[in-house]
């Protein structure tokens, strides 16, 4: 196996994978229980312990058979994936088609530790539309190391909403490569609640004029959880906007990371890049690392980034209390408000409703 990256690598400075390398992963055990599937009226692919379950999945007109990997990608995690990938979805939406929604469900049951490396492909033809809603859940110890290869042709629109609610003993590393042609858009949102250690890493290439990338995330972590959201957006054509809002709520001894790099090529004039990271720290033992990086070679660009890290605003707490709201409830209201705002980038109603439900139950567990 390709070696796991260590903290000596600049891109992995804040994420320590030693707990992952300490685990010996065997073959996936047979899936025991039937998972609780969401009540959404969309076609679906259901993977149990990393293996596609035909009985629980439904047909999808635009699905093609899985194709073995040809080894795209240079990230260490993608290289490992390339060595082991055995399954994944392969979606091709023809030009001009609106393919609606598809659910991608991964349910894992790590009675004994196992690893799986899904390799997913999503390809949209010119002017096509598609929304992928991903639900990753499970119990016990396992490692999901997924790769997505995404191609968005001219004028196509791909929305990708992910819920990462893996077991708190599990590991999730997901690497996404997205090529976006002119007028095309890739809208991404990851809601991270699960896993002992997780990392979502996205490389988005804006290849034609007015191509757009929205790479947003919210991380809600407690205990000793570690969540990492790392992105590189390459502006390779003029007039491309990119937007990023990353919100983290950290409790216990949780540790969150956001590394956001924006590269602007010399020809990418009128680039409009925006990056915002906000973290709400609910305990003094949490850690938030934010690393924005701008590499700009064009002269007429607008790139901004901002970050706020802090506890709740006591002024706001007092305002609520002065209106009769007990202190504990006042704090809850403010945390919820922060979370509510974190879901703002989710422009897809069904996904948003699903995420709100998940937040609600996360909340009641805190």
Q: For residue 105, report the phi and psi dihedrals to the nearest 5 degrees.
A: -110, 130
325 lies in the binding site for another protein (CB under 8 A) = yes
Question: Of the listed pieces 125-133, 248-256, 299-307, 315-323, which binds another protein according to CB under 8 A?
Answer: 315-323
Selected binder of another protein within 270, 336, 348, 352 (CB under 8 A): 336
For position 318 contacting another protein by CB under 8 A, the verdict is yes
Residues 268-307, one symbol each (x = binds another protein by CB under 8 A, - = not), give: ----------------------------------------
Q: Which is nearer to another protein, 126 or 316 (CB)?
A: 316
CB 236 within 8 A of CB 273: no
* Closest CB 323 distance from another protein, rounded Å: 4
Query: Least CB distance from residue 318 to another protein, whole Å?
Result: 5
Q: How far is the CB of 276 from another protein (least distance, A)?
A: 13
- 326 is an interface residue for another protein by CB under 8 A: yes
**Count, residues in the chain:** 366
Size of the site for another protein (CB under 8 A): 23
Site membership for another protein, residue 360 (CB under 8 A): no
**Smallest gap from residue 216 Cβ to another protein (A):** 16
- Tokens found for residue 264: 């602007």
Q: Give me the least distance between CB of 233 and another protein, in Å please.
A: 26
The span of 75-83, 211-219, 237-245, 314-322 binding another protein (CB under 8 A) equals 314-322
Minimum CB distance to another protein, residue 220 (Å): 15
> Is 329 a binder of another protein (CB under 8 A)?
yes
Q: Would you say 83 or 341 has its CB closer to another protein? A: 341
Taking CB under 8 A as the criterion, which residues in 15-44 touch another protein? none
For residue 21, what are its two tokens? Answer: 């390398």
Residues numbered 54-113 forming contacts with another protein, rule: CB under 8 A: none
Answer yes or no whether residue 323 interacts with another protein by CB under 8 A. Answer: yes
Among 106, 180, 189, residue whose Cα is nearest residue 143: 106
Cα–Cα distance measured from residue 214 to residue 187, given in angstroms and rounded to the nearest whole number: 5
- Point out which span in 72-80, 115-123, 167-175, 313-321 binds another protein (CB under 8 A): 313-321
- Nearest of 38, 119, 3, 6 to residue 71 by alpha carbon: 119
Stretch of 182-190, 235-243, 258-266, 329-337 contacting another protein, by CB under 8 A: 329-337
Among 319, 347, 360, 366, interactor with another protein by CB under 8 A: 319
Comparing CB distances to another protein, the nearer of 282 and 298 is: 282
310 is an interface residue for another protein by CB under 8 A: no
Instruction: Find the shortest distance in angstroms from Cβ 230 to another protein.
Output: 26
| CA–centroid distance for 3 within its chain | 23
- Residue from 320, 348, 352, 363 that binds another protein (CB under 8 A)? 320
Burial of 298 (0-12, 13-18, 19+ CB in 10 A): middle
User: Nearest 10 degrees: CA dihedral of 297, 238, 200, 148?
Assistant: -130
> Which residues contact another protein (rule: CB under 8 A)?
314-316, 318-327, 329-330, 333-334, 336-341
């Amino acid at each position: 196996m390709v070696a796991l990256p260590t903290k000596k690598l600049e891109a992995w400075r804040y994420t320590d994978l030693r707990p992952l390398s300490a685990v010996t992963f065997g073959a996936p055990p047979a899936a025991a229980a039937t998972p609780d599937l969401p009540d959404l009226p969309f076609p679906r692919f259901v993977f149990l312990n990393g293996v596609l379950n035909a009985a629980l999945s439904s047909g999808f007109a635009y699905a093609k058979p899985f194709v073995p990997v040809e080894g795209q990608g240079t990230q260490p995690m993608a290289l490992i994936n390339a060595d082991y990938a055995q399954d994944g979805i392969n979606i091709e939406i023809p030009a001009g088609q609106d393919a609606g929604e598809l659910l991608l469900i991964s349910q894992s049951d790590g009675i004994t530790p196992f690893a799986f490396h899904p390799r997913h492909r999503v390809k949209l033809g010119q002017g096509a539309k598609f929304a992928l809603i991903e639900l990753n859940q499970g119990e016990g110890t396992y490692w999901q190391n997924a790769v997505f290869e995404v191609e968005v042709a001219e004028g196509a629109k791909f929305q990708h909403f992910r819920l990462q609610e893996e077991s708190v003993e599990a590991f999730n590393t997901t690497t996404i490569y997205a090529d976006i042609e002119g007028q095309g858009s890739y809208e991404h949102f990851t809601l991270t609640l699960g896993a002992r250690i997780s990392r979502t890493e996205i490389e988005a290439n804006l290849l034609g004029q007015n191509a757009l990338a929205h790479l947003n995330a919210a991380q809600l972590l407690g205990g000793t959880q570690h969540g990492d959201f790392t992105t590189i957006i390459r502006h390779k054509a003029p007039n491309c906007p990119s937007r990023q809002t990353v919100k983290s709520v950290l409790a216990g001894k949780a540790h969150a990371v956001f590394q956001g790099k924006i590269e602007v090529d010399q020809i990418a004039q009128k680039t409009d890049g925006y990056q915002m990271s906000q973290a709400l720290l609910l305990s003094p033992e949490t850690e938030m690392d934010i690393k924005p990086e701008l590499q700009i070679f064009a002269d007429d660009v607008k790139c901004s980034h901002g970050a706020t890290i802090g506890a709740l605003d006591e002024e706001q707490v007092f305002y609520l209390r002065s209106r009769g709201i007990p202190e504990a409830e006042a704090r809850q209201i403010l945390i919820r408000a922060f979370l509510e705002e974190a879901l703002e980038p989710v422009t897809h109603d069904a996904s948003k409703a699903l995420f709100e439900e998940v937040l609600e139950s996360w909340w009641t567990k805190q």
